[in-house]
Amino acid sequence: MSEEELLKRITTSPDLCHGKPCIRGLRYPVEWLLELLSGETTEAEILTDYPDLEADDLRAAHAFAA
């Protein structure tokens, strides 16, 4: 998936998480995912703990941060 396609997974809405960028309109702010990824939580653990997230969502968070 291209970076452009990944970034389309990031959405913002004033009604969702105070307008923070989120993943696919879900209540998962990019900022929160990046905090998880920068700690000791693995991508596999995140995907297991939050089954509505996809691996491309985590890649999208990385692309957004870059």
Total of domains in the chain? 1
Please give the model's pTM, rounded to 2 decimal places: 0.91
Structure tokens at 48: 């297991």
Return the HEC string of 4-65. HHHHCCEECCCCCHHHCCEECCCCCEHHHHHHHHHCCCCHHHHHHHCCCCCHHHHHHHHHHH
Residue 60: give the domain boundaries.
3-65
Residue 50 and residue 66: Cα distance in Å, rounded? 23
pLDDT per residue, tens digit, the chain (66 aa), is 899 999 999 999 999 999 999 999 999 999 999 999 999 999 999 999 999 999 999 999 999 999
